[in-house]
Every structure is written in C-alpha cells, then in structure tokens.
Amino acid sequence: MEKSNFVDQIRIFCRSGHGGAGSKHFMRNKLTAMGGPDGGDGGRGAHIILKGNAQLWTLLHLRYFKNILAEDGENGSKNNSSGKTGKDIIIEVPLGTIARDEETGEKIAEILHDGEEIILLKGGRGGLGNSNFKTATNQAPDYAQPGEEGMEGWKMLELKVLADVGLVGFPNAGKSTLLSVITAAKPKIADYAFTTLVPQLGMVEYRDGKSFCIADLPGIIEGAAEGKGLGHRFLRHIERNSILLFLIPADCKDHKKEFEILYYELEQYNPEMLQKDFVIAISKSDMLDDELKDGIEKELPENIPHIFISALTSQGLPELKDLLWNTLNMNNPG
C-alpha cells in the first residue's frame, strides 16, 4: 500500500536543557591574595520551541526525530563570567498544530500564524554565582546556586487543517471531483469509498484577485464520532473550518436523512461545530430536471442555504463561489 506523506499526529520525547551551576569563586591574583567573591552565574538551559511555518502542511518531517534533547547551559566561572546559554531547539510545524502532554492530555501550545513561536518546554534557569550573595554582614559567601533541572516528557503533536471551507459528506459524494474543478488541487478521484484518506487543500480563485481556501476531508460514515471508519482523525480537521459545505449527491436515496446523519456525527463529536455556518450543495445535479429539484428542495432544512451543482457540467459553480464568499465575509467583512 502506498505510504501517505500526510502525517497529522506524531509522538515525540522532549527534554529541555538543564541550567548551568553558579560559580563559587573568590578573586585571587598576584595583587589580591584574598579578594571578594567573583563567581559568575550559570547559563540558562536551552528551550524547545514550536514555530509556525505556512509552507508546511504535514508533520512528516518529525517522524524521524523521536528524541529531541536540548543543550544544557554552561556553568558560571571566575571574574563574574556567566555561563553560555544553551542553544534553543526550534521545531517548525504547520499552522494548525496543537501540542499536548501525552500523560495528562493537557493542551500546551497551539500554532496558528506563520512565524509564531511558543515555548514547548522551558530550559532550566542558571544558578546564581556567589558574587550575588555578598552583603555587608557576609563579605565572603561560600555558596552558589545549582542550575535548575530541565523539563522532559512525551508530547503529542496534532495537526488540524486550517481552511475557510470544509467539504463534508459521505464517501463518494463527489467532494474530490468538486475540489479538482474549482481549485488547482489534484486530489485522487475514483469510484469507491474512502478514496480521500487525508485532507486535500485547494485555493479557490474568486473575483478581483481574491481567493479562499477549501479542504476536501475524508468522508464521514455513520459512527464516525465513535471512531468508526476514519473517525476522529477526520473530524478533528473539521473543527478549524469557518464554513461547512455539506455535499449530498443528487442520486442518494434520502437527501434529508443523509444530511441528518452528517449533522448528528458532528454534534456527537463536538457540539460547538454546530455553531459554524452551513451550506448544502446537491452534487451531480446535471441528472436532475426542475421537478426533481423541487422535490429535493422540500426535503432540505429551510434555514440552511442550498444550491444545485454539477462538477461535470460546471452548473451552479459560479453561484456556489458567490455563496461561499458572501457567507465567509458576512461576519468578517473587508
């Protein structure tokens, strides 16, 4: 089986650097037999940092970096010389990446912008040298701080695709075909379920040089919220989309029931997703006459905009772009 280049979940072991120890030293030279304390501070241990990179779309490049071990800070030394700070490790990740602690499941970081940096694990602080502890009553402190330990643990990185519009539908509803027609994306298209095993992104060229991003997501089946089929790995990617475009083929047996199943699976997974804007598109509409369209319209929810389209004949595609663009910008004009 062909191995996918799309990796949306990865487990890595991380350890930040230990802080260097402060120095316990007294000034000694040929002019000064018993000088005061001059021990320098230890250097900070290296951080492990996540950085957003808009050019990345997968976590594949981290597959071979299971252990990420950062540099320790150097110890302080005489003449109030501070130790060198450990060199931070920067892990570049796609936009939409979430980092969690594997043990607790707690979300540590979320990268949404290009160039954004968030510290995943802080390096240990360097210890203070004995020169910091000199006082009027203690002119020769004989102690310095050790450096702080770094942090370590297994972390889970998850990618949730960032797109303006998410295509939602059963396997084989025509999502990949639609994406290939209205964008420059070239998804795999075939007449069997689960052709799309990973999200496919494409940019839709709109008027006056404007554009928006649309994602063809792996098809839902009944029970996806419980993890059947592609289950949670698919539903995770829907959470990011501003609009959900429900694609229901004209030749399905019950258009209302198909929409209700899709709606139910989203609700079971995360009720907050029902707050998004919905649009319904009836695909493969080139096989319908006006009478059949009227019959289907009566089955559809009245409060959700719908449109009849055909990727084969381009029927309704300009109107679909208008509808999506206007819905996207209804709440965010400009």
Query: pTM value?
Result: 0.64
Q: Which residue has better confidence, 186 or 143?
A: 143
Per-residue pLDDT at 308: 94
- Could you tell me the pLDDT band of residue 165, with boundaries at 50, 70 and 90? confident
For the ranges 49-58, 148-157, 168-177, 255-264, the lowest mean pLDDT is seen at 168-177
CATH code of domain 1-159: 2.70.210.12
Average pLDDT (105-115) is: 91
d(CA 189, CA 215): 15
Can you tell me which residue has the tokens 């050019």? 55
Residue 2 half-sphere exposure toward CB, CA atoms < 13 A: 7
In angstroms, the CA 66 to CA 63 distance is 7
Q: Over pLDDT 90: what percentage of the chain? A: 36
Mean pLDDT of 30-59: 86
In this prediction, residue 89 has a pLDDT band, given cuts at 50, 70 and 90, of very high
pLDDT digits (tens, 9 = 90+) for 224-280: 444 444 444 555 666 667 888 999 998 888 888 989 988 887 787 677 778 889 999
Q: Which of 53, 70, 58 is nearest to 13 (CA)?
A: 70
Q: Starting at the earlier edge strand, list the strands of the sheet with 89-93.
A: 89-93, 48-52, 117-121
Least-confidence region, from 1-5, 99-103, 285-289: 1-5
CATH class entry, domain 165-330: alpha beta
pLDDT (tens digit per residue) in 286-316: 888 888 888 888 888 888 999 999 988 889 9
Sheet arrangement for strand 97-101: 67-69, 9-15, 152-159, 97-101, 107-111
Q: Hey, what's the torsion of the CAs at 10, 197, 221, 265, to 10 degrees?
A: 40
Give the model's pLDDT for residue 2. 36
Q: For the chain, what are the domain ranges? A: 1-159, 165-330
